[in-house]
Structure 1
Amino acid sequence: MHTASSSTLGPRAALDPLQLARTVLLSESDAIAGLATRLDHHFVSAVKMLLDCRGSLILSGMGKAGLIASKLTATFASTGTRSHFVHPAEAIHGDLGRIAEGDVVLMLSYSGETEEITRILPMLRDFGASIIAITGQPSSTLARAATVVLDLGRITEACPLGLAPSTSTAAMLALGDALAIVVSQSRGFSADDFARYHPGGSLGRKLATVNDVMRPLAECRVAHENERLREALVNQRRPGRRSGAILLIDDAGKLSGIFTDSDLARLLEAKRDAAIDGPLSDVMTRRPTTIQEGTSLAAACDLLAMKKISELPVIDHDGKPAGLVDITDVVLVASDDDEAPAVDGPTLLKLVAPPMPRGSSAKKK
């Protein structure tokens, strides 16, 4: 096996990786801190342009700046600003068709002289698109073509060679994030708005409502409170996974009670066989724990855990049943997450709610 000479290993052996890493981080953090002190009316003008934009926000950049622009496109889109990324090299081969009058183009280029970018600037003006430039050269071709210039200031790259975009792209990312968040908050973007754009993963679960996971009324077992128990058990069969509860309604269609499989088991254990042919009103749980439709899933999980119940009826504002949250559905939602570590069933259930005693139902405690 070939062994490297000591002269080859010398410079690498002398390198202090922790010191170099700290230098890179401090360089980038200093540049971002400097941006905070440099912000002025130009930033406010950029915010106003985006708030007044009647079209889409188009982000573009070449190389590493283009990758930052692509990330910022996702940030703007997820916080309420309709945005798209256009690669400047592809723009002259047809992608300029994505840009229209009324759009705002946010262009990232530290030098402001990147050929692919300067080449499309005249066309952007012809299309009637406004330009916001994020650049480190306020007198560059890009800056002169822009309506608003966000100046990054003089930046020295953290790369020891001073060549690889590092500090400059970190500054671009931070400034773009600041712009996206300020615009979002200025629009009054709410947690409910955020939830609409983030329905998946652990984030989606935090923002979901009971409507997102409940079994709709058409899939629930529903019976009148005066119906006989045996008839309800036979007539309320549903395809697929069966709910462990029958929602009971009164003459006005409002939820008056609930009867669960656990309640049936208790009747049989107590040898009350005759009750099976009696009305549900005699054996149902009256005034069960319920939750309003539109309430957060987190609140539903809290109720399931606190009351130690397996089924939670969802009602509308008139007190009529709208659906049912079943503990098994909550567990399925909790397990359907690519970001979550793999866990077994019992562990997963503990993540959702504490262990429930056998025979628990939606009784009011």
Structure 2
Amino acid sequence: MTACSLELAKGVFEDQSRALSHIGRSLSGGFLDAVELIYACAGNVIISGMGKSGIIGRKIAATLASTGSPSFFVHPGEAYHGDLGMIGGDDLVILISYSGETDEVIKLLPYLRHIQACTIAITGNPASTLASSADVHLNVSIEREACPNNLAPTTSTTATLVMGDALAVALMNRRAFMPIDFARFHPGGSLGRKLLTKARDVMHRVPSLARMSTFAEVVHQISEGEQGIVCVIDDAGKLIGVVTDGDLRRAIEKRGKTEDLTANDIMGIMPVAVSADANLYDCERLMRERKLTSLIVAEERCPMGVVKSFDA
């Protein structure tokens, strides 16, 4: 029974993968027309659909809204009981129905024509009422559902969801939607926090000392600073290097005697530094790429603090 269930589950992935690949290869100019309609929309993008299509529609609306296209979901049944007032002539309406004949969705068409709202239909039947009535039709036709009885909406809803994702991604590209734009809509998320947080907001105080400071002074400053690093500066207060805990250990192993050593003798090469306005996301990326655990924050080469890997 377990082996049979596992093979059945694998078959669901394979069936849906094949269906999505087929739909992807079949995309044509109609998809580009849909992208341009949404891009040019002066109002809101409104999604509507019944049942499972409605659930998928809610997700598409949420994805569009979070990627720069103001969007929300309107239930077609509720629309006929007052919610039609939520749709205006400047809006674009995406109507979802795999059959293209869902009664509650079809009933919206006369009103949408009356207010001259543009429409995009997502169906699996290009010859359906909905497909032929919309300004643009997006075809998500599949051979069969993953359901063993070919009844429960499975592959068809996945195809509709991916079509919505494809629209959102294409629109992000059309708008040159950048990570910082995404962060504005997701300030509470991890990425949003990193993109909106500046180095100055999280940096720790880091001691500075002259290049001719003694080994003992270096050790004392690193201990006092509690960040495992100290900045070495020139007479003008400009950053010329850093000494880390690791530098101290290597100096002891290599030299043995440390009495005559100065900061200049043991400091590392000019460290990687960022400005105080650098965002935490870029700091994290830089540390990951350079295999660093610390970044010096400096303005005009004057050290201000340090950002540690755990801050990101």
CA distance in 1, matches of 2:291, 2:157: 48
Match in the other structure for 1:100: 88
The alignment status of 1:208 with 2:190, answered yes or no, reads no
Residue 106 of structure 1 and its aligned partner are, at CA, apart by 1.0
Match in the other structure for 1:190: 178
The alignment status of 1:127 with 2:112, answered yes or no, reads no
CA distance in 1, matches of 2:306, 2:76: 49
> Root-mean-square deviation (CA), in Å?
3.9
Q: Is the 8 A contact 1:209 1:294 kept in 2?
A: no
Please give the secondary structure, in 2, of the residue aligned with 1:208: helix
Residue 15 of structure 1 and its aligned partner are, at CA, apart by 8.1
Match in the other structure for 1:172: 160
Q: Is the 8 A contact 1:155 1:167 kept in 2?
A: no
Match in the other structure for 2:253: none
Match in the other structure for 2:106: 118
CA distance in 2, matches of 1:293, 1:197: 24
Residue 111 of structure 1 and its aligned partner are, at CA, apart by 0.9
The alignment status of 1:199 with 2:187, answered yes or no, reads yes
CA separation of 1:47 and 1:314: change in aligned 2, threshold 3 A: same
Q: Is the 8 A contact 2:191 2:281 kept in 1?
A: no
Please give the secondary structure, in 1, of the residue aligned with 2:59: helix
Residue 49 of structure 1 and its aligned partner are, at CA, apart by 0.9
CA separation of 1:77 and 1:312: change in aligned 2, threshold 3 A: same
- What TM-score do the two structures reach when normalised by structure 2? 0.70
- Structure 1, gaps ≥5 residues long: 1-12, 221-242, 248-262, 270-280, 335-365
Which residue type is aligned with residue 208 of structure 1? L
The alignment status of 1:292 with 2:275, answered yes or no, reads yes
Residue 46 of structure 1 and its aligned partner are, at CA, apart by 0.9
Please give the secondary structure, in 2, of the residue aligned with 1:84: strand
Note the alpha carbon deviations across 1:115-153, whole angstroms, 9 max, x for none. Answer: 221122211222221110000122222123211111223
CA distance in 2, matches of 1:110, 1:307: 52
Query: In the TM superposition, what are the counterparts of 1:17-28 in structure 2 within 5 Å?
Result: 17-28=5-16
Query: In the TM superposition, what are the counterparts of 1:308-319 in structure 2 within 5 Å?
Result: 312-313=296-297, 315=299
Note the alpha carbon deviations across 1:328-359, whole angstroms, 9 max, x for none. Answer: xx75x65xxxxxxxxxxxxxxxxxxxxxxxxx
Count of residue pairs brought into register by the alignment? 266
CA distance in 2, matches of 1:155, 1:133: 19
Please give the secondary structure, in 1, of the residue aligned with 2:149: coil
CA distance in 1, matches of 2:200, 2:120: 45
Q: Percent identity?
A: 39
Note the alpha carbon deviations across 1:9-29, whole angstroms, 9 max, x for none. Answer: xxxx59811221122222211
CA distance in 1, matches of 2:8, 2:80: 41
- Structure 2, gaps ≥5 residues long: 209-216, 224-232, 241-270
Query: In the TM superposition, what are the counterparts of 1:1-365 in structure 2 within 5 Å?
Result: 13=1, 16-204=4-192, 208=195, 210-211=197-198, 214-215=200-201, 244=205, 266=220, 286-287=238-239, 290-301=273-284, 312-313=296-297, 315=299, 327=308, 331=310
Residue 264 of structure 1 and its aligned partner are, at CA, apart by 11
Moved more, 63-72 or 24-33: 24-33
CA distance in 2, matches of 1:60, 1:52: 20
Match in the other structure for 2:226: none
